[in-house]
Amino acid sequence: MEFLIILFLLILNGVFAMYEIALVSSSKARLETLVAKGNKSARGVLKQLEEPEKFLSTIQIGITLIGIVSGAYGGVAIADDLVPLFSLIPGAEAYARNLAMITTVAVITYLSLIIGELVPKSIALSNPERYAILFSPIMILLTKVSYPFVWLLSISTRLLNRLIGLKSEERPMTQEEIKMILHQSSEQGVIDKEETEMIRDVFRFSDKRANELMTHRRDLIILHPDDTREKVMKVIEEEHYSKYLLVDERKDEIIGVVSVKDIILMVGSQRQFNLREIARPPLFIPESLYANKVLELFKKNKNKFGVVVNEYGSTEGIITLHDLTESIFGDILEEDETEEEEIVTRQDGSMLVEASMNIDDFMEEMGILSYEDLESEDFTTLGGLAMFLIGRIPKAGDIFTYKNLQFEVVDMDRGRVDKLLVIKRDEE
């Protein structure tokens, strides 16, 4: 009989422990969603989270009382029942009571940890909102019954917190925590992989600068003021861009931006072919400007095309609304474009990687979540990483490593790294 009473007390202790963990682990966002769906019990849990001292005091009173009763009553009663058993052991008659007490305490402690703590808390953590809602009405009732004691404990707790300078402020969720929740939701299948990637790209969007998203000047297709109509039309037919930079190479000067629409109108009007006449002033964008600020500039100037310049005013490249869109949604191919893979996995497991690939995108593909040692450096591509780690302008055949990755420079385009061979080693 005594054992059944102790077992009941331990189970009751487990209920209190379960509710305590469920309450403090519950997500306010999930509870608010349930309230919006009409769940009244969820509203009760939210109210408890607004006054945690009150309900945690109730839980602590219950756990403490159960501990006292089970320890005092159970230890003596069950030990008395075990004394005759130990007395039957030859040579242990004189120590029978001590052995019975030690055994009783050990068994009750073990059961208390398993039934009264560990298992209930594990269950609560599996779905905290569910169990918080399940036991909420009982805890509200117990709080009302034990109100005088709860009030005294709550006041004492708040007073002591003030004395030690502890403020009860709700800490805002950081971007890292949101990313971790996103990662867990993706792993559990709550959010689709494509949606996860898009949300991650939205977070990264504001961290990227214009020089990370631009088309570099060496890759630009430009027009010159003395180009003939035939040459310009051939460029338009081959490249399929909507706008081009008009550059005077003799002065290394940007004259302006010409659109294909204006070129076609000029050709159709039969007037003299003069690109200077239709060139529009370019929108200059500092290379260090963040992507969200570039988007604001495009909106403000009703423009979709910007010239990226460095601190000295020299042209670094161009950036378009299309570039900004692709940084969130991924590559958006035109009708006649074919998708070019930045990472090509070979049969032996090694990877051929474009050196122009963004560092953040590459690290994510490799499963490397932490690379703070690179974030403060002044490069954004794998080509820049190669130059940084080698310490000079790379040449074909150069090998360098980062974390568990081995890189080999396999192709150069003048002084620029074009392709890298990457081998992923097993982490030790």
- Is 338 domain-assigned? no
Task: Give the pLDDT score at 327.
Answer: 84
Tell me the CATH number at 243. 3.10.580.10
Residue type, 330: G
Task: Give the pLDDT score at 408.
Answer: 94
Task: Give the pLDDT score at 320.
Answer: 93
Task: Give the pLDDT score at 169.
Answer: 61
Question: Within this chain, do residues 180 and 123 fall inside the same structural domain, yes or no?
Answer: no
Beta carbons of 256 and 282 less than 8 angstroms apart = yes
> Which residue range is the domain that position 192 belongs to?
175-205
Question: Within this chain, do residues 267 and 364 fall inside the same structural domain, yes or no?
Answer: no
| N- to C-terminal Cα separation, the chain | 56
Task: Give the pLDDT score at 75.
Answer: 62
Question: Within this chain, do residues 125 and 258 fall inside the same structural domain, yes or no?
Answer: no
Question: Within this chain, do residues 282 and 358 fall inside the same structural domain, yes or no?
Answer: no
Task: Give the pLDDT score at 167.
Answer: 66
- Per residue of the chain (428 residues), give pLDDT as tens: 667 778 888 888 888 889 889 888 888 878 888 888 888 888 888 888 887 777 778 888 888 888 777 766 666 667 777 777 777 777 777 778 788 778 877 888 888 889 888 999 999 999 999 998 988 888 888 888 887 877 787 788 778 878 887 765 666 667 677 777 777 777 777 777 777 777 877 877 888 889 888 998 888 999 999 999 999 999 998 888 899 999 987 767 899 999 999 999 998 887 889 999 999 999 999 999 999 999 999 999 999 999 999 888 889 999 999 999 888 887 766 655 555 678 899 888 899 999 988 888 888 888 887 777 887 777 888 998 999 999 898 999 999 999 889 999 998 887 789 999 999 887 65
For every residue of 105-124, DSSP letters joined together read: HHHHHHHHHIIIIIHHHHHH
Task: Give the pLDDT score at 44.
Answer: 83
Question: Within this chain, do residues 223 and 364 fall inside the same structural domain, yes or no?
Answer: no
* CA–CA dist 150, 51 (Å, integer): 12
**Whole-number Cα distances in Å, 2 to 7, 129, 232, 276, 366:** 9, 35, 98, 100, 60
Helix H segments across 284-345? 291-301, 321-329
Q: How many domains does the chain have?
A: 4
Question: Within this chain, do residues 133 and 276 fall inside the same structural domain, yes or no?
Answer: no
**Whole-number Cα distances in Å, 65 to 10, 13, 14, 91, 107:** 11, 9, 13, 38, 19
- Is 218 domain-assigned? yes
The dihedral through the CA atoms of 203, 206, 210, 211 has a sign that is: negative
Q: Residue with structure tokens 């039957």?
A: 88
Task: Give the pLDDT score at 69.
Answer: 77
